[in-house]
Amino acid sequence: AKIAALGLRVRRGCTFHGLAFNIAMDLEPFSRINPCGYRGLAVTQMADLGGSSNPALVAPVLVRELCRQLQLAPMSAPAFARV
């Protein structure tokens, strides 16, 4: 099942990117599309998998783990709060 989406756009030599991570939301609209072009691909979220449904709790953990996986220094809490 799909729990996240990454986006990347290159325009005039600039890159734009984003990450969407399903925490606790209405997943019904996904039933009307083919996520990532795959018919029948299920979409899920943290709340349905027994994880936290509080974005304020999930976000710092997600950022910390992404930084670890990408071998980057994590942002400080004040910097993260401004994102």
| b (16+ CB within 10 A) / e for 30-69 | beeeeeeeeeeeebebbbeeeeeeeeeebeeebbeeeeee
SS3 19: strand
Of the listed 6, 8, 36, 70, which one is catalytic?
36
State yes or no: is 14 an active-site residue.
no
Locus of tokens 């299920």: 42
Locus of tokens 């449904």: 53
**Which residues are marked as active site?**
36
